Amino acid sequence: MAKLDIKSLGIDFEHISNILKPLSHPHRLEMIIGLFHNGCTVTQCQERMGLPQSTISQHLRVLKDAGILKGRRKGTEVCYEVIDPFALQIIDLVEKK
Amino acid sequence: MAKLDIKSLGIDFEHISNILKPLSHPHRLEMIIGLFHNGCTVTQCQERMGLPQSTISQHLRVLKDAGILKGRRKGTEVCYEVIDPFALQIIDLVEKK
DNA sequence: TACCAATATTCTTATATCCATATATTTAGA
DNA sequence: TCTAAATATATGGATATAAGAATATTGGTA
């Protein structure tokens, strides 16, 4: 029986790990799931996670640079939301786990 | 409308990122998916990926230490297989993508 | 036991990540 | 325009990760 060559699957491993890597940090994972449930602003993240503001901002930036989040300004606040479909699928798995 | 506290979800973020992190490397991702399609031994990985044997072994060790893989010895060879259910779900997503 | 193939480990260097402190930027409102 | 609140960026030190070369181990077989 001939095996299916993995290359024929046409998977872009670089791209996928560019999504997975930012998600694979406990703080970022908690932050991103918290966006749905407990508010999407930096300050709200900061309050529930108990981390310095700059640390929160930096984690959000990693997620934004990866194309996972985008920020929407409302006055002085920025509300972050998940925009990457694959990331959404992962988050779904995590929540069901 | 009262928001659901994220803590009530009881998600173990540390544990999840301990699975996600090892998966979030392009070589390891390719390796682990190749296990299904193109052989599960170190040598087979090595041949299809074109990396030094020690590099392959080290990546497999990371995955094994995380509890994602286990190795089954057959004589002089070791056949690796995925044993973590969450990892299997991720792999499933990746293949369907 | 001696040897070979397959796999694992050690060691080393280079690079990346994490996270806190301090500082800058942006926006709204007086 | 001055100020305060929210967010972003710069910097630096500690730690972690990546990967290849060299070496060690394990298992089968003569």
Report CB contact under 8 Å: B17, A38.
no
> Which among A16, A67, A72 has a CA at the least distance from the CA of B26?
A16
As a whole number, the mean pLDDT across chain A is 95
Asked if residue A3 has pLDDT above 90, the reply is no
Token look-up 């056949």 returns B79
Residue B57 has φ and ψ, to the nearest 5°, of -60, -40
The half-sphere exposure of A77 on its side-chain side, counting CA atoms within 13 A, is: 10
Question: What confidence tier does A25 reach under pLDDT thresholds 50, 70, 90?
Answer: very high
Residue B97 confidence (pLDDT): 77
Q: List, for residues B39-57, the tens digit of each pLDDT value.
A: 999 999 999 999 999 999 9
CA A95-B90-B54 angle, to 5 degrees, is 135
Question: Can you give the pLDDT at residue B4?
Answer: 81
Tell which residue, B6, B12, B18, B5, has the closest CA to residue B90.
B18
Is residue B3 pLDDT above 80, yes or no?
no
Closest residue to B20, CB basis, from A20, A27, A30: A20
C-beta of residue A90 within 8 angstroms of C-beta of residue A68: no
For chain A, domains (ranges, CATH) are 20-96 (1.10.10.10)
pLDDT surpasses 70 at A1: no
For residue B83, give every residue at least 6 positions away whose Cβ sits within 8 Å of its Cβ, in sequence order, or none.
Answer: B67, B68, B69, B70
How many residue pairs bridge chain A and chain B with CB atoms within 8 Å of each other?
95
Q: Is A4 exposed, middle or buried (0-12, 13-18, 19+ CB in 10 A)?
A: exposed
Band the pLDDT of B71: cuts 50, 70, 90: very high
- Asked if B13's CB is within 8 angstroms of A29's CB, the reply is yes
> Are B29 and A17 an interchain contact pair (Cβ–Cβ within 8 Å)?
yes
Where is average pLDDT lowest: A5-14, A53-62, B68-77, B81-90? Answer: A5-14
